[in-house]
Structure 1
Amino acid sequence: MRRLLLSVDAKGYGGATDRRQERMQVDLLAVLDEAAERTGLSRSGWTRQPGGDGELAILPDTEPEARVVEDFPRALAGALRARNRDVRPELRLRLRLAVHHGVTLDAPNGHAGAGPVAVSRLCDSRPLKDALAASGADLAVIYSRQVFADTIRQERTGLGPKELREVRVVQKEFDEPAWMWIPGHDVHALVLPASDEPGSDPEPGPVLEPVPDPGGEIDAVMCFAEQDVATVERLALKLRRRGVTVWIEPWVEPGLVVLLEKERAIGAASNGILVFSRAAVTQPGVLDDYAALLARVHEPGGRRFVPVLIEDVPLPRFAALRRPLDLTGDRFDEDGRIDLLARAIGIDTTG
């Protein structure tokens, strides 16, 4: 039987503490309930398969598809915005949501059929993860080919097809086009790996892994204040697209000790980048990173240290001796400045 399916997943759950995971589960259910209530949907009638950091939901035919496709994500983005308003940036709840219409069957250990598999692959896809990271948004949404063709393109919602960005999702045995939407953001302005675009060949070019092994070669390690994580993830993704192997803390794999991995990355990286902002110049942890990066400069075979300004703040003494990469102006020339940064750390972007 063909049913409407939703899959939702929380960013950063695996690396959170036990208490933080418990809080994320509570907040996840709260924002999903609130979004459904705001849009007149009845979650009590959904068949839900919880997963700790996420949920697979199979909706009954009584739920209006247009509300599920457009109104529910809008309400969910609003609920997340309200929930995240007064929390520290690293404690924000950020979600990926996939919407699909496909075949599902009841099975002894949950649900079977192509529908649950497809919606799960979409939710866990690299394009959606990269879009959430690059946008800094609280919510990124992806629609399957069926939902786009039957609901959005047929003007059964208020979403215009041009508001969505087509990508190619290759996840295990799944290989299909899909369409992404980020409420409140221009999804077309995001810099994403070229292999995620439809019609592109996923083989040529660098392989963009989530985080390099600190024991291997790292072109640059980026250190920054926790308040600047969204900006830094966007910059790191742009550097990755240019073939730079970048290490940043949010990309540490679940189960690893973050401070130990950072220490190893700083020791292994050919270049150190510190992102300066009002928050960065006041946080003791960032100043410790600054000292560690400078120490590497003065070791035998020393590395380059590059200060990057994202806000107009005075640089500390030894950083001020170096020419910073200034990103404090309008972002229209950000790509040109990222090219300059890539060249400064030894990556040729002209080839």
Structure 2
Amino acid sequence: MTYLPSTTTDPDTDMGPVAQVITPDGERIVDPTLEPWVDGISDELLVDLYRDMVRTRRLDGEGVALQRQGQLGLWAPCEGQEAVQVGTARALRAADFVFPSYRESGVQLVRGATPTELIQVWRGEEQSMGDPFARRTAGPQIIIGAQTLHAVGYAMGIQRAEALGEAPSDDVAVTYFGDGASSQGDVHEAMVFAASFGAPVVFVCSNNQWAISEPVRVQSRAPLAARAPAFGIPSLRVDGNDVLACYGAMLWALERARSGAGPAYIEAVTYRMGPHTTADDPTRYRDAAELARWRGRDPIARVYALLRASGALNDQREADIAADADTLAAEVRAACLSYRTRDPLTVFDEVYAEPHAGLEAQREAHSAYLDGFEEGVS
């Protein structure tokens, strides 16, 4: 089994072809692999995809600003990766369960995350992201690659639902991870189990070219999508800056998983335009010319050009989408600034069902430590 190739060359990684249906200039082209999945896609859906990407980028900018202003502890920017996040997430059903990494702000947004939920994680608050079953989406996973194991376990649970007295379903588990995570043992172990048990799970690798400061060419001498067939999992390598290609690739993968044929793997070739997190300085390891080349392939700009050329996006509609994105950013900021963190000592409240002398001693010690930060205490 080999990964499904296409005819469009990826000029930066020089690691083989990518499937593409919208060029960086906004031209709609035909790709033989993806065309069956994207033929007939309406302008309305394309406008919705554009709107979600604009909202995601506006959210991302607000998250960075809030962190710089000391309101968030950290933020993992996703500028440049909006197409893979929005395109794949919009292809899902509400009942599918998503297991993202820490960078999938756009996935969380498409899955219905509220402004409060979007900022809880990065403030380190209790019950971050709320109830995962409410949106069928887990919170951001910080441990690199661990979410792939969670997704496969959930998918194997779907297979066993009928044996446990539940109604059978064709739900699918989906997991997102980066090119850096693809080198983690957890990801490979997850693919072993997924393939061995034919689990209904889709692996989405967002290859953004950099695992913090390590380029993808150091991690692999072949396309990351070419790894999956070694496990018995078919894969597709797509232009991750082409939202329609990502949408079509996800439909392909979901159909395979829902039909009982087993897992599928998507490598979306994209680029992280910002830092790894707000604690990172990419200028120390990344060439400015490389960033400029990828800005020329901006995922939002190409859909904008396509929609403008077709007349599906006019001035009024564009203004409405921009206003919607600004409203989201304002709501996220308001949620962050108005959030009230619980008293630090409440962290001890629900550790044990019954009082515990050792825990009380720890509470007293931590209380004394916190008192040392009060004004006037040296």
Question: Which TM-score bucket, shorter chain as reference?
Answer: under 0.3
Specify which structure has the higher proportion of helix.
Answer: 2
Per the normalisation by structure 1, the TM-score is: 0.27
Specify which structure has the higher proportion of strand.
Answer: 1
Per the normalisation by structure 2, the TM-score is: 0.26
